[in-house]
Structure 1
Amino acid sequence: MKPRQALWRMVRATPKLYVTDIVLQLFRSAIPLLPALVVWKVLDQYSHGSNLTSGVWVMVGLLAGIAVARVTVLLMSVAMDAEVESAVGSMLMRNSFARILDAPGAAALRKPVGDVVSRLGGDTTTIAEMFVYALMVAGAGVQALLAVIVMMTIDPLVTLVVFVPLAAAGVLINLASSRIKDYHRASRLAAGEVSAFLGDAFNGVQAIQLAGAQRPIIARLTSLNEQRRRRTLRSRLFTETFMVSLWTNTAHVGVGLVLIIVAGQMNEGTFTVGELALFVAYLGWIADFTSLFSQNLAMYKQSVASLNRLEEILPAGGSLACLTTSASTRLVDVDAPRRVPLMCLEVRDLTFLHPNSARGVHDVSFDVQRGTFVVVTGRVGSGKSTLLRSLLGLIPLQGGEIRWNGELVTDPAQFFVPPQSAYTPQVPRLYSDTMRHNILLGLPEDDERLRLAVRSAVLEQDIDHLEHGLATLVGPRGAKLSGGQLQRVAAARMFVREPELLVFDDLSSALDVDTERRLWERLAEVSGRTCLAVSHRRVAWERADHIIVMADGRIEAQGTLEDVLRASSEIKHLWHEEGA
């Protein structure tokens, strides 16, 4: 889909909004033409010796009424412009974000996080502002057309002559359009590089401090900012200063030509003072239209660049069509999935291979019965995390099937969410908020439910030692917590949702043996809890009802601890390594 088709598709998504705005723009643009008509007639009457004593108040009344009407329509039009800008920006941001969230969980962003945020903010704003200017240009175009018609009825030759400099300026602007797009893309690219660098620097503060790299980091940031300043300055000088000054001076040239041409006619009485006043006033409005048109042309070129930049952050398969899909931009309440009590989870021949690689999982089959503790183990790279991710729909299945109580799960990504299941990855994500809000994550306050979740996660003693308890701010990505605390907060987030299936990916990697033992013991205290966990610890194996041993993406053995110790060389190796 071409950019102009994508932009037109956005208009078609909410046509009533744009039609309303255009109607208001027409009134907003037509009303300012009326005062010049009133002044034209009044000055001509006065120049012919008419007595204006009785007509002055009529003129004042007309101009006052016109002013009130203009202000009223202007306020309505500005409000509608804001609606259009909000609708466009919201649609682009919502669709971009939704597409990113719909991507498989293992798919990394195509651009750094800081750059993605910059594009979602700056580039969507550029496109939204272009739409508003386009509607203003439509109204100003009708205004200019009406002005030209009136001027042509007065003197066609003068009207045509004053359009020569305007036409020349239009040719110059058209020739410069490709450079406008290039300058804007370079400016936005530099801004994205600064945002991306800041995002990486904030995420790696500790590494920067340990390496003593503060000065080089600041020097690099200074260099990127200087590059952004130069590119932004060049873009603005060209698209704003050069173009605006060109159209402003063009209008002045037009007024000068009118004065030169009509000077003789005024001496002969064939061109009146009122007509001169009208020409000067209308030339200003025509110049405004051409100025707006040139600015909108520049903004269109910038918007094409911005659309392409938004397309670049979409996951594989994303396109401009995804960005301009018609959908409500308002948040709505979504009903939670209906709880389906787990009796048996059946996995058959599950297969997923990473792109351009033979690594992954092959033909994995196992069952998880209600109330059991199933542990997946194996060496690094054996496919444990890939198994969990493919089961939960975080990466697309390439083969096999999953059944919940015998019913086929056709869309794992939509099914394996609370209250069916909850998942904690190897590196949990927390938000820069309080510990309470990180655990609840939108759930209504329930002190007893929260207390039980905290206890199950073996967090109560940690919270008692924090200055503000559950109200403690955890910092960006939980930076104020230890690795073990971060994992247990994520576990509490799972427990508070009381899912049918708890899925842990190496939760114990940052826990000491005693803490992990207590966590598994408390997990078993609640009757009916079903758990599928990746772990390499003996304490987990000893409590497990069923162990799955992975090797090279396949199940080498499964069964009780005694069964796998007897059948699997992998777990024998891990057993002795763990005990060493």
Structure 2
Amino acid sequence: MISSSKKLAGWQLLWQLICYKPKLYLIDTCFWIFIMGLPALPGLIIREFFNSLTGKAQFGLSPWAFIAGFVALNLGHILVIFIGRITKTQHRFTMRSLLRRNLLERLLNNPHAQIKVTQDDTENTVSQGEVISYFRDDAEHIEDNVAWISEIFGEGLFAVLSLVILLSVNIPMTLFVFLPLVGMVVIIQKAETRIKKYRQASRQATQEVTGILGEIFSSVQAIKVAGAEQDVLTYFRTLNDKRRERMVKDSLLKAILNSLFQNMVNFGTGLILVMASFLMQSGGNQLTVGDFALFVYNLSFVTGFFASVGGFMALYKQTEVAFERMAALISGASAETLVAPNQLYLQELGKSRKNLPRLEQPTENESHHLQSLKLSNLTYIYPGTHQGIVDINLQIQRGSLTVITGRIGAGKTTLLRVLLGLLPKQAGEIYWNNHLVVDPANFFVPPRSAYTPQIPQLFSYSLRENILLGLSKDDADIETALKMAVFEQDLAAMNEKLETLVGTKGVRLSGGQMQRVAAARMFVRQPELLIFDDLSSALDVETELTLWSRIFANTTEQGENPWTPTCLVVSHRRSVLRRADQIIVMKAGRVVAQGKFDEILADEQADWIF
């Protein structure tokens, strides 16, 4: 069962989402009131029409006049529905976009390599494919709930007005209308746990299917090389079968509840009609034919509202699941983060990406300029293992080149990731200019530092967009960065130059070109600290020598360019080690030797490197 505090939190989140665009929500609600209100007016026309046939009409109009008025009202109703659907679409799209925008921002601010979901005191890793179900299914479900609130409000308003009309016709008959509502509330309370259980199971199954799809598409080559196509497809079918079973249960429960609600309404309506027939037969002018027609016509608004309330209560229980899932995905942040007001730039839709708002790199100040970087007893051990780094002590000075080397599994990449906050340090401190760095993940970003991993991430856009990633820089700055990355000849060979599409994950580029584009992405931002993880792995000796010489040349040309980068790199290449101001040799997660090239060459702990 959901606690009352969670229920309140769910309503608060829905209310904050509604308040994000109150004007749009109010317009949408007003149109829905008109949509529900216009059909209420023909009820009066129907009463007068039937009374005119029996000679008891209050107005001396012909039946054709009532028919004309009825047709005019329905044409107006059609027009209002058309306009209302436009506002409804805008409102729904805005709500869904805000949820997805905030969820994406939170995930992008998560510095760790893996996305984890914490729920029921258990922590599970979620793949990129599995995250799709959160952005698609859960966001759309919450959107449906918000949209339905305006519809329920409109239906409820005219249900009250219709109830007043029913009371004016006959009070005893009207009291029977409330019987279905009582039954619906009881059913929802009894079925609450099962509703949430089935919805959680169906969402989890969908998440698993989208997850395996992402894994398959990102590992096509590995699957083919291993000859595992049939095994993968068999597993995929198993997940789909499980998803189908759980989705059927969820859909069946929803259909059963809707059927129960509708049948309860129909049963209540039947009782009311039976009671009306007795009243009409009893004589005494208790109920005219016109009154009966008016009662039946307005009765549908009240009973329809009750059916909608039942469906809405069931939907809200399912929406609680969506909120809980999304909140678990951003564990560490409050659920209010999902509905926090933010700019969506929806007015830019349909325009060229060049016209979209550009990002500005934070303005530099004295705190950004690196004078010294110190690591003190930095420690991180991977959960459930004995691997990681232990008591790493390191000091780097401005403008220097520090090379980390060691055998595979020595902890070189782990050290870089802990320094950058991509892995949470378990002990030790990091000092930038003798000031403690409390939050490395948000501190080590441009203009302070930039990082290129062993396998850089490129997007299926143009070369320009992959380098800038939204940053405001002109072509001259980009070309300077590309030249520094030894990419000018590659650029000259491309027909589209900076507009060349690199393909999904940079598939149209070689490994070396991807490394140099990622390096240019760093250079165009001119950070204080450049961090490379094994740049040599995809570059030939000559290209790498040229790249390093241009970096060092940039350091010495102070008159032309005041940028003085400091370099921290992982490398095994002798030419880079010779250039290094200091070499850090790692083994089994510890520093076993430290010094310049000649000193390391003579060290018995590190002679195996050469």
- The two structures have a TM-score, normalised by structure 2, of 0.82
Name the SS for the 1:504 alignment partner.
strand
Q: Is the 8 A contact 1:351 1:400 kept in 2?
A: yes
Query: Quick one: distance in 1 between partners of 2:456 and 2:70?
Result: 67
CA shift, 1:118, in A, is: 1.5
Provide the residue aligned with 2:350 in structure 1. Answer: none
Residue identity opposite 1:189 in structure 2: Q
Cα 1:573–1:291 change in 2 (3 A) is: same
Deviations, residues 285-321 of structure 1 (Å, cap 9, x unaligned): 1222122112212211211121222233224x34534
Provide the residue aligned with 2:607 in structure 1. Answer: 572
Cα 1:329–1:187 change in 2 (3 A) is: farther
Q: Aligned to 1:354, which of 360, 381, 391?
A: 381
Q: Aligned to 1:292, which of 300, 304, 308?
A: 308
Cα 1:529–1:12 change in 2 (3 A) is: closer
1:48 aligns with 2:48: no
Provide the residue aligned with 1:420 in structure 2. Answer: 448
Cα 1:393–1:264 change in 2 (3 A) is: closer
1:33 aligns with 2:35: no
Q: Aligned to 1:486, which of 492, 514, 522?
A: 514
Provide the residue aligned with 1:302 in structure 2. Answer: 318
Query: Quick one: distance in 1 between partners of 2:276 and 2:28?
Result: 39
CA shift, 1:141, in A, is: 2.3
Query: Quick one: distance in 2 between partners of 1:431 and 1:355?
Result: 29
Residue identity opposite 2:96 in structure 1: G
1:217 aligns with 2:232: yes
Between 334-343 and 541-550, report the one with greater CA deviation. Answer: 334-343
Name the SS for the 1:311 alignment partner.
helix
Name the SS for the 1:2 alignment partner.
helix
Q: Aligned to 1:508, which of 536, 541, 551?
A: 536
CA shift, 1:538, in A, is: 1.0
CA shift, 1:561, in A, is: 1.1
CA shift, 1:174, in A, is: 4.6
Residue identity opposite 1:336 in structure 2: Q
CA shift, 1:429, in A, is: 1.0
Query: Quick one: distance in 2 between partners of 1:389 and 1:19?
Result: 48
Name the SS for the 1:569 alignment partner.
coil
Name the SS for the 2:318 alignment partner.
helix
Q: Aligned to 1:178, which of 178, 182, 193?
A: 193
Tell me how many residue pairs correspond in the alignment. 569
Between 298-307 and 141-150, report the one with greater CA deviation. Answer: 141-150
Residue identity opposite 1:38 in structure 2: I
Q: Unaligned 5+ residue runs, structure 2?
A: 117-124, 346-356, 556-563
1:243-262 aligned within 5 A = 243-262=257-276
Q: Aligned to 2:6, which of 2, 5, 30?
A: 2
Query: Quick one: distance in 2 between partners of 1:265 and 1:172?
Result: 32
- The two structures have a TM-score, normalised by structure 1, of 0.86
Deviations, residues 11-40 of structure 1 (Å, cap 9, x unaligned): 146534556655554554344322213332
Provide the residue aligned with 2:353 in structure 1. Answer: none
Query: Quick one: distance in 2 between partners of 1:408 and 1:188?
Result: 43
Cα 1:564–1:393 change in 2 (3 A) is: same
What is the Cα-based RMSD across aligned positions, in Å? 3.3
Provide the residue aligned with 2:558 in structure 1. Answer: none
Query: Quick one: distance in 2 between partners of 1:50 and 1:126?
Result: 49
Q: Unaligned 5+ residue runs, structure 1?
A: 576-580
Residue identity opposite 1:8 in structure 2: Q
Cα 1:11–1:76 change in 2 (3 A) is: farther
Provide the residue aligned with 1:521 in structure 2. Answer: 549
Provide the residue aligned with 1:99 in structure 2. Answer: 106
Provide the residue aligned with 1:271 in structure 2. Answer: 287
Q: Aligned to 2:152, which of 137, 140, 148?
A: 137
Residue identity opposite 2:11 in structure 1: L
Q: Aligned to 2:581, which of 530, 533, 545?
A: 545
Q: Is the 8 A contact 1:177 1:297 kept in 2?
A: no
CA shift, 1:8, in A, is: 1.4
Provide the residue aligned with 1:281 in structure 2. Answer: 297
Deviations, residues 347-367 of structure 1 (Å, cap 9, x unaligned): 142523236466324251312
Percentage identity across aligned positions?
36
Deviations, residues 454-496 of structure 1 (Å, cap 9, x unaligned): 3333344555666766555433323344433322221222223
Residue identity opposite 1:48 in structure 2: G
Provide the residue aligned with 2:422 in structure 1. Answer: 394
Q: Aligned to 2:599, which of 543, 557, 563?
A: 563
